[in-house]
């Protein structure tokens, strides 16, 4: 993202909006001087951006030359947040939504601009996120890629109805993984580890697993590198497979998240 593309407006600076903002500033994906943040309340990330030259809650006339508007508000609040922007955006502006469950056509009907939908993880703050992307519009899709490729692995989707499962598998899944790590720590404590030691070991295991994933190696190959035949890891994997609990838990979590996205 360069200054020549024009300013970018971030509408909403909650957890995800703040993570996006922090990632842009950390990587230079968007220069601070090209960032406009619209937020109804003070946020540490917005304050930090202001200190670097970003504009926070300027008059809406400042939006006339913006390149893209990133909608990062709660889905239930998006119409109230978007309505004031209508009539202030220039003809070349596109909209990038990071809101779960809100259809592109609904957003376009309010703002009258091409829309791309993106679902990033909050690890975009550290430029280590993953983001699902869908849009029928070439310009909106290109703008979304430019905004998120420096801070995430951008995965293109073939259809908008894939956004809800993508949200569950990526956007929600880090919390599912943390919950599993917490369960592992509890299981370790049950087997005699001190609780603090069990937590540290389980957290360290997640870091180790993440390092393996960074290699891009096939998942079965990564499992095979650890789970030797007849070993302790294989015994644990076989136990999970026999019970079916892991698959059932994953399926239930993803299905529940997808169904919830449909009601937002």
What are the binding residues for NADP(+)? 39, 72-75
CA dihedral 27, 30, 34, 37 (to 10 degrees): -90
The distance from CA 62 to its chain's CA centroid, rounded to whole angstroms, is: 27
User: What does the alpha-carbon distance between residue 245 and residue 258 come to, in Å, rounded to a whole number?
Assistant: 20
Q: Environment class of residue 155 by beta-carbon count within 10 Å: exposed (0-12), middle (13-18) or buried (19+)?
A: middle
CA nearest to 93, candidates 120, 71, 121? 71
CA nearest to 143, candidates 152, 135, 131? 135
User: What does the alpha-carbon distance between residue 101 and residue 239 come to, in Å, rounded to a whole number?
Assistant: 36
CB 233 within 8 A of CB 227: yes
User: What does the alpha-carbon distance between residue 81 and residue 91 come to, in Å, rounded to a whole number?
Assistant: 19
Annotated binding residues, written as ranges, equal: 39, 72-75
| Phi, psi angles (nearest 5°) of residue 45 | -65, -40
Helices and strands counted in the chain (H then E): 11, 8
What are the tokens at 44? 């540490």
CA nearest to 134, candidates 100, 109, 111? 100
């Amino acid at each position: 993202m360069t200054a020549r593309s024009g300013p970018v407006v971030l509408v909403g600076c909650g957890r995800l909006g703040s993570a996006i903002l922090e990632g842009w500033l950390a990587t230079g994906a968007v220069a601070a001087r090209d960032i406009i943040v619209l937020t109804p309340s003070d946020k540490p990330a917005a304050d930090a951006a202001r200190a670097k030259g970003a504009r926070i809650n300027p008059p809406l006339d400042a939006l006339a030359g913006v390149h893209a508007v990133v909608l990062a508000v709660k889905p239930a609040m998006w119409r109230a947040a978007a309505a004031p922007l209508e009539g202030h955006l220039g003809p070349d502006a596109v909209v990038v939504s990071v809101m779960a469950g809100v259809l592109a056509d609904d957003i376009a009907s309010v703002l009258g601009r091409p829309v791309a939908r993106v679902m990033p993880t909050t690890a975009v703050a550290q430029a280590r996120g993953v983001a699902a992307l869908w849009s029928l519009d070439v310009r909106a899709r290109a703008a979304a890629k430019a905004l998120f490729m420096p801070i995430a692995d951008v995965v293109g989707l073939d259809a908008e109805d894939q956004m809800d499962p993508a949200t569950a598998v990526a956007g929600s899944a880090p919390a599912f993984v943390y919950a599993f790590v917490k369960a592992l720590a509890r299981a370790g404590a049950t087997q005699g580890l001190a609780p603090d030691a069990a937590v540290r070991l389980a957290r360290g295991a997640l870091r180790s697993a993440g390092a393996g994933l960074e290699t891009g190696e096939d998942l079965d190959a990564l499992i095979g590198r650890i789970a030797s035949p007849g070993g302790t890891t294989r015994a644990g994997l076989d136990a999970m497979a026999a019970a079916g609990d892991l698959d059932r838990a994953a399926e239930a979590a993803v299905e529940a998240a997808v169904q919830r996205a449909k009601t937002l």
